[in-house]
Amino acid sequence: AAPVAFLGGMSRSARSGVVVKGGGTLEALARVRSVAFDKTGTLTHGRPALTEIDPVEGADPDELLRLAASAEQGSSHVLAAGVMQAAHDRGLALSPVDSASETATNGVEAMVDGHTVRVGKLRFVQEVDPTATFPELEPGHTAVAVAVDGRWVGSLILRDTLRENAAATVRILREEGVGRVVMLTGDNEATARSLATQAGIDEAHGGLLPEDKVRLVGELPPIVVMVGDGVNDAPVLAAADVGIAMGARGSTAASESADVVIMKDDVGKVVQAVTIGRHTYRVAL
């Protein structure tokens, strides 16, 4: 037992906006070998902005955006916020929705003006209309598919940007001896790979469901730290040796499942969490 060092570490961490829960966490942080990052809201700002509306022939782009944004009112996903913001910026009046159903990882479906509107992953929209496709995406962009009454009506293209210190955070973790740094995301492979490259991460896994993230974290060399923010990340944060939640704007479910909560919207605090663990236990990585 090292109560003095332990309490020192705890107060040091609280002062710096890194809240450490549970007794074994600081020691585990001191011995971390692998770090897995979620993409959206963790390595990126999590404030996706609409760059393009891509309707199918004959569909009205503003009405496509308006219906999608109306349906997204029932979702807490960061992409939903981006879609609603875009509609707001264009002065489009959203219709109220009743009984929106959010499927945890795929998107949202809701009744808007008497129409069934489905918004989300390509696969999710292909379930109702197999002809749905995405245009060629520029690096760092992500697409959201939209269907109305079972017919694909087009896509919305959004862009989220890498946090300014994401690449530095990854570099410092490597310098500190973390052997494996990976990105795990529910977003598509191409977007995953381009943002991982920008962040200096050479191993990116896209198109993942929450259970896929849990499996992949289980395959990394322990001690494994997982950093995430979303509702979808709660299971993988619980499964990792140390789950770190970006708590400032992240979901309550993620914070509750985590061993460490970062109280500022700053991914660089992950380095600080590891450093506090190392100083507390004087472990050379």
Kindly state the smallest distance separating residue 42's Cβ from Mg ion, in Å: 5
Closest CA to 94 of 76, 121, 117: 117
Nearer to ligand ADP, 144 or 214 (CB): 144
Task: Number of residues interacting with ligand ADP: please give it, by CB under 6 A.
Answer: 22
Segment lying near ligand ADP (by CB under 6 A), choices 25-33, 75-83, 146-154, 240-248: 75-83
Question: Facing residues of 146 across strands?
Answer: 119, 154
Residues 19-48 touching Mg ion, rule: CB under 5 A, are 38, 40-41
* Binding flags for Mg ion, 218-247, as an x/- string (CB under 5 A): -----------xx-----------------
Kindly state the smallest distance separating residue 219's Cβ from ligand ADP, in Å: 17
Q: Which residues of 73-95 are buried (b: 16+ CB within 10 A; e: fewer)?
A: bbbebbbbebbbbbbeeeebebb
Q: Residue 243, interface with ligand ADP (CB under 6 A)? A: no
Is 229 noted as a catalytic residue in this protein?
Answer: no
Please give the biggest Cα pair distance in the chain: 70
Q: Residue 257, interface with ligand ADP (CB under 6 A)? A: no
Before 244, cis peptide (omega within 30)?
no
Residue pair 277/30 in contact by the 8 Å Cβ criterion? yes
Kindly state the smallest distance separating residue 203's Cβ from Mg ion, in Å: 18
Q: Which one among 26, 108, 147, 254 touches ligand ADP, defined by CB under 6 A?
A: 108
Q: Residue 121, interface with ligand ADP (CB under 6 A)? A: yes
Q: Which amino acid is at 208?
A: L
Q: Residue 275, interface with ligand ADP (CB under 6 A)? A: no
What is residue 63's three-state secondary structure?
helix
Kindly state the smallest distance separating residue 60's Cβ from Mg ion, in Å: 31
Q: Residue 187, interface with ligand ADP (CB under 6 A)? A: yes
State how far the alpha carbon of 21 is from the alpha carbons of 69, 88, 125, 262, in Å.
38, 39, 40, 11
Indicate which residues carry an active-site annotation.
Answer: 38
